[in-house]
Structure 1
Amino acid sequence: MFFKGLLLLLLFHLAGELFIYSGAYVYAPVLAGTQLPFRVLLGPAFYFYAHATMSPDKAISKSLLALTFSGPILVVLAMMPFMLLISPAEKLALADPTTRDPELWKIAVYTCLFATILFISFTVIFLVLALKLHNRHLQQLMERFSDIEQCALDWFKPVLIIWGAIWLMYAAEFALGALGWHWFGSGKLLPIFEVIALAIFIQKALAQKVLKESDKSEPQTNAFKQSRTAILSDEKMQEIALKLETAMQTEQLFLQDSLSLNKLSESISETENHISETLSQFLHTNFFQFVNGFRIEAAKQALQETNELVTNIALDVGFNSKSTFNTAFKKIVGHSPSVYRNLQNENK
């Protein structure tokens, strides 16, 4: 639902910009500016899409909903003088510096600037909230899964930044245009960029694996992270840590590419909450980093002792793709797998 709503808003926004920049407004000047109240909803729409996709909490706070709808209401109120006091003929006259009425032009400029400031403010607020939600989602996944590639929505952050940059450029161009300043790309380049960004977003969103509600649940460690006080005793956490070490070293559970906190919990007969607390409070890591640490150590040994292809080694030690393996390996070791192998061969 939120995905469709976001697409409709994006298309309406594009249509409104093309209506102005193409000159089509001369045929229906009364429609000029009708896209402005809806444009303020673009930032919130992205946040609501992120919330529906990544948040375990289905409900959206009433204060956030109130803030969302206050934007269009404020824009409509600001546009009342422009919509009611200026006739269609006078609106057309405003487009030409030689025919515009100075007082009516002031009303139009102030209306545009106010709408632009609101648009920038709401865009920044809600895109920041969406980025924070995405970061929290990644943390939740890393608390519970050893493979997060299919659920992490890694594409979301760069797409969000691209949209934010385009909209801020739109706002700047719109405000400058209201003041009579134009550049050679006005009304041409940004719509093209936005169509490209829209196509990328649609492709990524449709290709994204649908997340289960369990994949979006809050990490088990939230309670003691907030209190900063361990619930388990040091002795108990040490006991669980030993079990975890045995499960990884002796049983080599890390070789399972779909290993999750739930599966590990069943294997060592400890609750997920107790394992999470031990990892966080005693071992100072999370499930994702803990498991992949053993995978990387196994990969390092294979890179030193065999001539096996890097891709095969990545799959053998539990990773689902070479790209994920390369990223994890470089983060832990400091070099790519190929560079690490070459360095080890030089030192022999």
Structure 2
Amino acid sequence: MKAAVMRGIKDIRTETVPDPVLEPHGVIIKVKACGICGSDLHIYKRDEQGTIFGHEFSGEVVSVGDQVKGIAPGMRVTAVGFRPCGKCFWCSQGKGHRCSNMALLGYQFPGAMAEYVHIPFAALGRTVFPLPEELSYEEAASVEPLSISYFSVNRAQPKPDESVAVLGLGVIGLYAVQVLKSFGVTRILASGRRAARLRAATECGADVVIDAASQDPTAAVMDATANMGVNTVVECAGQQDTFDQAVAMARGGGKILLVGIYEQPLTWDPLPAISKNLSLIGCLGGNFPASIELLRSGKVSARPLITHRFTLDQAAEAFRAQLQDPGAIKVMFTMD
């Protein structure tokens, strides 16, 4: 089959690789759409050999292992891919989905930037999720990043009359804006740097959009909230300056959701967080069923975020666009 394979620093090549082999607890899916994730870009900038990325995807089941129940060929699905280690405490209890040493799709084993992908631990409603007919394959490939935004926002349990700031307007931040809207939050402030993403933030429902390239986000938030600050900050950028901004703009008793992946350790003074009684909440998780329903109902839309489409034959170009094109938000591989 055809796949996008990493062969060095910023070196992605379209190659022919062996088809996946079906395992008893697995399914093989014919990939219809697959997005490039920001996490993929972190590794793309390193010297990794042989990686096939791809964990934001959708497709059609073509083969089902003999130990799998409730999943049949022809089903339109999206999925979470991991391989349990089979040795840890959770695996010994028959709870492989909680494995302490699991291998992840698109990193430790081949992902969905290929014509076919193997999901080694296939459980209906837990790792494999059927798609409603209303969802296109591109929308379904957006479920995974949306699920992160939903999980994170839900951790704060925001109320409609609260004010919330979203820092970092990549896909996760832009979905966070939409999820906040779906929760009924009526005062959403969004801060980012690229013109295309600032426009998208407005389209996604942000009430105040701040260009962090030309404005001080903290000053802008304080000005927009009569110097009160916001109840919650959704920190999606994973940078020292945005973390510092989050602490500065959160009001007393506020919450900071740590969503972005930090490539470097933070240097920070905890006294401001202590003096303001702030809650710092780590966010690592997702909710596929809730995200599928948000897309199905139209409360969240993937369309404003999918800016570029490429075939597998254009894999190198696709990664360059996601990394370098200022107009890129979500770059998507489409297989049909």
**Would you say same fold, with TM above 0.5?**
no
Q: Say which one has the larger Rg.
A: 1
Per residue, is there more helix in 1 or in 2?
1
TM-score of the two chains, using structure 2 as the length reference: 0.20
TM-score of the two chains, using structure 1 as the length reference: 0.19
Per residue, is there more strand in 1 or in 2?
2
